[in-house]
Structure 1
């Protein structure tokens, strides 16, 4: 499964650079038991009753926990996802965004975890999305300039950066009466735009593995939920979504 390294901050990562470097699909799954195990892990993304717990959870009894339960109940009710993402009457928009950012982090982190075994330095030497899009890493410390990295290394650093942010009380306050910082939505926009890159890489380079697990419907549902949410609150620039534009038009319209 997906194991994250030592935490490292990220600053000023460019949205994408054009490249002609090809990142081939990972190898097909050949061992039935491996497929079943990974399919089970992916199923756990969408069920809080399983033994594999998310990295970040909401404390019972808090307003954000109640919002989380409300959002999950709406998802399970079969309501139109476009309506599910709408801000409930009387709720604070920043609380609603915070709940969804954490939930998407948990789900997308696990989605990538199911294919990370097949996302190696050999199969994916560069973090990319097809022939046109390449994502480079910069953190101001170990990586002073935008740097080409294998997809797995990039993902590790990315997930670490996100987890550091959502666990930072100055950005995602959990204490009653503590306000969100003025730049809260800007931070969330950066997190969500970077999580989109995970979808890009998984869909373009590892979708054969996802299909082999029979999990494409689950990932499509997660992506649609994510897409409707960011669209509802204008949280990502349209140019960022270009790598999956054709697919998005097909499954989200």
Structure 2
């Protein structure tokens, strides 16, 4: 029998502290609306559509932060199985390898163990979503012109977490009874990026067969 979400994704397994929206802000209200739609059992394809009259950048910001929180939680549940011995390279099977580059400490694409890659990835995303110049939280402060480009890069790298988890750690997910929850999170993510064309289709190739099976 599958466990409930709270039992499977416990707080002590969170890979990073959760980013929260400030109550009373427009983004908090959008977040509550999005969560309510998710829990209502509506078609996920409709859940991701931009609500009438809302700003698209606010909608994208809410979802990027929410996906960061949830994917972080999913990886946290399998991180104990993702070691330098089991996963010496950040990959998605033998055909796909992901190297880390941030233009700062890693100026060239660098091969790293998956756990180290994940640590750097989550640090990098966290620094972006906490940066007021990129994800402004104050009323009246506009988003930067490159906001959607930044979000595309974040979402593209979060997809790599799904790739690694599905290909290398899905047995552990199934053993925890969390398969349905991970699949729902992935479907929500996939419908969202598809709705707003946020990732090139070529980047989704590692999970193409699975995506066709569970998302179409």
Same-fold call, TM > 0.5?
yes
Q: Using a 3 Å threshold, how does the CA distance of structure 1 residues 164 and 146 change in structure 2: closer, same or farther?
A: same
Kindly tell me: are residues 133 and 208 of structure 1, through their superposed partners in 2, closer, same or farther at Cα, counting changes over 3 Å?
same
- How far does the alpha carbon of each residue in 1:16-38 deviate from its partner, in whole angstroms, 9 at most, with x for none? xxxxxxxxxxxxxxxxxxxxxx9
- Using a 3 Å threshold, how does the CA distance of structure 1 residues 49 and 40 change in structure 2: closer, same or farther? farther
Q: Deviations over 1:127-181 (max 9, x none)?
A: 0001100000112232221110000000000000000000000000000000000
Contact 1:56/1:102 (<8 A) preserved: yes
Q: Which has the higher contact order (CA 8 A, sep 6+)?
A: 1
- Give the Cα–Cα distance (whole angstroms) in 2 for the partners of residues 162 and 141 of structure 1: 14
CA RMSD, Structure 1 to Structure 2 (Å): 2.7
The equivalent residue for 1:21 is none
Distance 1:48-1:119 versus aligned 2 partners, 3 A rule: closer
Spell out, residue by residue over 1:167-217, the C-alpha distance to the aligned partner (whole angstroms, 9 max, x if none): 000000000000000000000000000000000000000000000001000
- Total equivalences in the alignment: 216
Deviation at 1:241, TM superposition (A): 0.2
Is the 2:8–2:177 contact (alpha carbons within 8 Å) kept by the matching residues of 1?
Answer: no
For structure 1, the residue ranges without an aligned partner over 5 or more in a row are 1-37
Secondary structure of 1:54 counterpart = coil
Once the two structures are overlaid, the 10-residue window that deviates more, 188-197 or 46-55, is 46-55
* Match of residue 104 from structure 1: 67
Contact preservation (8 Å) 2:14, 2:72: no
Contact kept in structure 2, 1:45 and 1:110, CA below 8 Å: no
Task: For structure 2, list consecutive stretches of 5 or more residues without a partner in the other structure.
Answer: none
Alignment CA distance shift 1:120-1:46 (3 Å):
closer
- Relative to total residues, which structure has the larger helix share, 1 or 2? 2
TM-score, with length taken from structure 2: 0.94
Instruction: Tell me, yes or no, if the aligned pair for 1:199 and 1:223 is still in contact at 8 Å.
Output: yes
Kindly report structure 1 stretches of 4+ aligned residues shifted beyond 6 Å. Answer: 38-41, 44-53
Please state whether the residue corresponding to 2:123 is helix, strand or coil.
helix
Measured after TM superposition, the shift of residue 45 of structure 1 is 8.3
Aligned residue in 2 for 1:14 = none
Cα gap change, 1:127 to 1:51, in 2 (>3 Å): closer
Q: Judging changes above 3 Å, is the alpha-carbon distance between structure 1 residues 128 and 52 closer, same or farther for their aligned structure 2 residues?
A: closer
Q: Under a length normalisation based on structure 1, what TM-score does the superposition of the two structures give?
A: 0.80
